[in-house]
Structure 1
Amino acid sequence: MDIIKVVSFAFIALAVIVTIRKERQDLAIQISLVAGILIFIFMITKISSVLQLLQELAIKANIDFIYLDVVFKILGISYLASFCSEICRDAGESNLASKVEFAGKILILVLAIPILMAVLQSIMKIM
């Protein structure tokens, strides 16, 4: 199972980070960053298969790809903002982490506006 691989790798990285953090804080942060990126790369294949399935479902349901594309972008922004903010927190920069989360929320809002407008137009047509 893939989760066992991810958890095992994370625990090994955690042990190395905790051991090194006492002597070299900067190196521990870099190891944490590399471990996070490796886990993310490992999960990209899983994410791509989910996105492919969603695209197939959208084709069957005759959903416009513009909306699906926006949803994919929103998911990407949320995952990347969360990943980056957690790395910032690991480095002891919770203030910067909060700013990254705020920026992610604003970008998601900006992307969601066209979808909200389309929903409102559909409601207006029904009325």
Structure 2
Amino acid sequence: MDMIQIVGISLIATVLIVIVREQKPAFAFLLAAFTGLFIFLFVIGKIEAVITVLEDLAARSGIPSVYLKTVLKIIGIAYIAEFGAQIVRDAGQESIASKIEFAGKVFILVMAIPIISVIVETVIGLLPAGS
């Protein structure tokens, strides 16, 4: 049912944007941005439920919480970068949108370094001595 509401609001906003765009392009952009923000805020609650389940699974499996938190931060960075880039792209600024995506990728790489380090150390530990 939630998806039907999101699609319904999106379709109404799209029709309004198409109608308003010729007369007031700035207002059309604001309407698109606020619609996107509304959808983002609407799904945040769903994301919170997923995070709770993942934290519970990690706790039961013995995975250190720092790894789960890092992965969740990486996912958050990816979503926020994509959302921001799409809003900027809607405003017609493709080059800035590309820079937002690039910055998101750099932040993801920085956040992933501790996990990559553990993986490399684990692989090195599995190799026979003298190799």
TM-score range for the pair, normalised by the shorter chain length: over 0.9
Q: State the distance in 2 between where 1:53 and 1:34 align.
A: 30
- 2:46 maps to what in 1? 46
**Structure 2: 5+ residue stretches without partners:** none
**Structure 1: 5+ residue stretches without partners:** none
Q: Which amino acid aligns with 2:126?
A: I
Work out whether 1:32 is the aligned partner of 2:36. Answer: no
TM-score by length of 1: 0.98
CA root-mean-square deviation: 0.7
Alignment of 1:103-122 (within 5 A): 103-122=103-122
Q: State the distance in 1 between where 2:17 and 2:47 align.
A: 27
Alignment of 1:2-81 (within 5 A): 2-81=2-81
Alignment of 1:92-111 (within 5 A): 92-111=92-111
Q: State the distance in 2 between where 1:57 and 1:19 align.
A: 48
Q: Which amino acid aligns with 2:125?
A: K
- Quote the offset at 1:54 in angstroms: 0.4
If you compute each CA radius of gyration, which structure gives the higher value, 1 or 2?
A: 2
Q: State the distance in 1 between where 2:115 and 2:106 align.
A: 15
- Quote the offset at 1:34 in angstroms: 0.7
Q: State the distance in 1 between where 2:77 and 2:18 align.
A: 30
Aligned residues: 127
Cα displacement string for residues 17-37 of structure 1 (whole angstroms, at most 9, x for unaligned residues): 111111111111111111111
Q: State the distance in 2 between where 1:5 and 1:44 align.
A: 15
| Aligned partner of residue 92 in structure 1, secondary structure | coil
Q: Which amino acid aligns with 1:89?
A: R
TM-score by length of 2: 0.95
- Quote the offset at 1:122 in angstroms: 0.8
| Aligned partner of residue 53 in structure 1, secondary structure | helix
